[in-house]
Amino acid sequence: MTDAPSTPVSRDELDELARLVTPLDDRPGLEVHAPYDDSVVGTVPLCTPDDVRSAVAEAKSAGDEWSTWPIEDRTAVFARFHDAVLDQREALLDVIQTETGKARADALEEVLDVATTARYYANHAERELASKRRVGAIPLVTKAVEHHHPVGVVGIISPWNYPLSLSVSESIPALLAGNAVVLKPDEGTPFTALWALGVLRECGLPDDVFQVVTGEGPRLGEPLIEGVDYVSFTGSTEVGRTVAETAGRHLTDCSLELGGKNPLLVLDDADVEKAARGAVRGCFANAGQLCISIERIYVHEAVADEFRDAFVRETRGLTLDAGYDYGHDVGSLLDRELLEKVETHVEDAVEKGASVLSGGRARPDLGPYFYEPTILTDVTPDATLADEETFGPVVSLYEVESVSEAIERANDSAYGLNASVWTKQTQRGEQVAARLEAGTVNVNDAYAAAWASIDAPMGGMKDSGVGRRHGRHGLLKYTESQTVATQRVGLLSPPKRGKQAWANGATLGLRLWKRLTEVLP
């Protein structure tokens, strides 16, 4: 193995971030490893269930005060945070790369995402959270107003693959809605979230409103879910079911973004070279460790050979390496467990008849967890990766006879998170997209177009999740809707006498109201 580049983040800097975790006694520490060489780069406190309960209690107390802040004061914090994230971009990229091993360009996506999310909600929260008049039971006689109140304390359980985006971008709308947040980042990648916590406090967020607890998910998950008023979870479908079950027992509302086995469709009129470049980004960004990455490609037979050749050529042109600059395209997998899963999936597929067009092997010469971007063809239905998420740099290529077949096969999955359609006719692509069973569908892009459209909802269908992030959905889910209705004249209930006349009058009124609403704009 070649010598891995030394991390640009010092142990002292990471130890300082670890001090932002509430418990500061001499409890055992949790080691955090750098995927590039598996070295220990720092430790964080190994929190206990009692620590979680204390963090929730402190957050609740601080949140009560935070919720009374004028909305313009809350949004000002995140407007400053937007600027701070961009100003400190390089230092943040160093932290992300240190604990994830991803390529720097992939880490940059997270920085841009968090800045965009902060700006979007800072600009839109006041309007979306404002009380709104609704049509009352009897117009002019009944007044109805919809209010949005913070739910209280939001618990966020975030994964390791995008430790900034999937923790902080989810925390921003929860905080802006007036809630407190207790975040449990993945045990392998806590420092990115702690960096963000420190910067948010520098930008004016009160100290205890945003708490981070570090430690083992199986030990801390249940007390966190039990104690908070709303749960946001991003991770595997298997764990998501457990989170939903626990939340359900406590009647705690939740949103879950789970796994995906995402398809990409290359139609018969696609720009093959453009589609091949887009597919490479969709399949191998962050070494395939992305819930919305592409793992299945369905290519129309009219362009199958041309696309295959272009896709293989583009994939072989990717640079796989370690480094804290922009000099390589694909980084490392997170750890040995991920590497072994990728290896097992590929070996199983090959044993059952699949062919390797590119990649197909680990690269210990580069680092302990590197695996080459891999394209498979002739994958049989009984192969594990035919329908199970690999979550690595592996994609299966299939030839289809028609667009209808491509749609049918794309939808033949328990998952429905993201999809992609490639065609020169955008209207045709949009029509095909609407027939795909996925929460987001990109036309002539793999995933970034939909993900970066922060004003539009993002989430999964079927086993890929419950609820949505982004847009007004991503903000209002962290509120309790309340209707206050005022009856200005009379009562809506029947009188003691004359019930028949009241019934006739009410019926006539509904008929007239229907006719009126049919002619009104």
Domains within the chain, CATH numbers bracketed: 27-258+472-479 (3.40.605.10), 262-454 (3.40.309.10)
pLDDT mean over 401-414? 98
Q: What is the mean pLDDT of residues 331-354?
A: 98
The model's confidence at residue 521, banded by pLDDT at 50, 70 and 90, is low
Mean pLDDT computed over 440-453: 98
Q: What digits encode the pLDDT tens for the residues 502-520?
A: 899 889 988 988 888 888 7
**pLDDT confidence tier of residue 461, bands split at 50, 70 and 90:** very high
User: For all residues of the chain together, what is the average pLDDT?
Assistant: 96
Instruction: Answer for the pair 403, 267: CB distance below 8 angstroms, yes or no.
Output: yes
| Three-state secondary structure call for residue 412 | coil
- Mean per-residue pLDDT, 245-269: 97
pLDDT, position 502: 86
Residue 82 has pLDDT above 80, yes or no: yes
Pairing of strands 415-416, 461-462: antiparallel
pLDDT for res 519? 82
Q: Is the pLDDT of residue 139 over 90?
A: no
Whether 22 contacts 197, CB under 8 Å: no
* Residue 24 scores a pLDDT above 80: no
CA-based nearest residue to 458, from 225, 116, 177: 116
Give residue 319's pLDDT band: very low, low, confident or very high (50, 70, 90).
very high
Residue 23 above 80 pLDDT? no
257 flagged as catalytic: yes
Q: Rounded CA gap, 162 and 177, in Å?
A: 23
Of 12-21, 486-495, 500-509, minimum mean pLDDT range: 486-495
Predicted local confidence at residue 509, as pLDDT? 87
Q: Please give the pLDDT value at position 348.
A: 98
Catalytic hit among 110, 128, 226, 257: 257
Q: Which pLDDT does position 4 carry in this prediction? A: 81
How far is the C-alpha of 143 from the C-alpha of 133, rounded, in Å? 8
pLDDT at 1: 64
Q: What is the pLDDT of residues 96-135, one digit of tens each?
A: 999 999 999 999 999 999 999 999 999 999 999 999 999 9
d(CA 484, CA 142): 10
pLDDT at res. 517: 84
What CA–CA distances, in Å, run from 293 to 87, 271, 282, 345, 457? 29, 20, 5, 17, 18
CB proximity list for 54: less than 8 A, separation 6 or greater: 22
pLDDT band at 33 (very low <50, low <70, confident <90, very high): very high
